[in-house]
Amino acid sequence: MAAMWAHVGPHVARLSPLERVRLRRVAVRYALHGWAVTPGACLARSRFVCGRAGCPTIGCHPALEDWEHAASTDPARVATWWRSRPHGVLLPTGRCFDVLEIPAHLGRLVLAAVQVHPVGPGVRGPVLVSPTGQWMFLVRPGDPLRPELEHCFDVVLHGRGSWIPAPPTRLPEGPVRWAVAPEQARWQLPDAYLVQNVLVEALRATGVTLTPALVPGHLPMPRRGR
């Protein structure tokens, strides 16, 4: 591993001991709550380096080639990854949760709506915000997008084979942060379709025309028995 990093080490961003400890502690906390964690490439000036020779990716990406299988909920293993390098903290999706990613203007509308939603906790969960303005709603895994949302380029569903950067990961534009921290949501995840239904209403409120032929006669109901 040391040989992998020999040619990039001097360029990796210098973090204070406190910042390095915080990265490790937060990564371990996610693992302790059953969220699989995988180390991300390290920020080096305005790009990311993973230590793999010839890696062409300069944006945020996993540090391990086999990241999806290597991702772990073992606190000891997770702590080891952050012992020597200031890795970004990445959370694989499609396991404990999926992620609904939308632009900031929609994110604010959806968050405001779920906070007063009559279903209560069933539609409220952790929400993170990237420094580039993307809002990411963590939801229960396994449900696809409603058909009309599949045609919205601003809406991305992260499931199996994807990941998200989690706080306190820092991107070139700034840190990733929680708008609603997992602790605030008691580490509970909302029903995916309930959140999608709120998003559909937010899109309509902003004047987005949804294809009538794709809109079902009634809104999907929450899944039971999860």
Residue 135 main-chain phi, psi, to 5 deg: -105, 135
Measured at the CA of 33, the angle between CA 18 and CA 81, to 5 degrees, comes to: 45
Measured between alpha carbons, how far is 138 from 205 in angstroms, rounded to an integer? Answer: 22
Distance, CA of 23 to chain centre: 16
Measured at the CA of 134, the angle between CA 137 and CA 127, to 5 degrees, comes to: 25
Query: pLDDT tens-digit profile of 6-56?
Result: 444 445 555 666 777 899 999 999 999 999 999 999 998 889 998 888 889
In the DSSP assignment, the letter for residue 97 is -
Measured between alpha carbons, how far is 199 from 107 in angstroms, rounded to an integer? Answer: 8
Query: pLDDT tens-digit profile of 159-218?
Result: 999 999 999 999 999 999 999 999 999 999 999 999 999 999 999 888 887 765 444 444
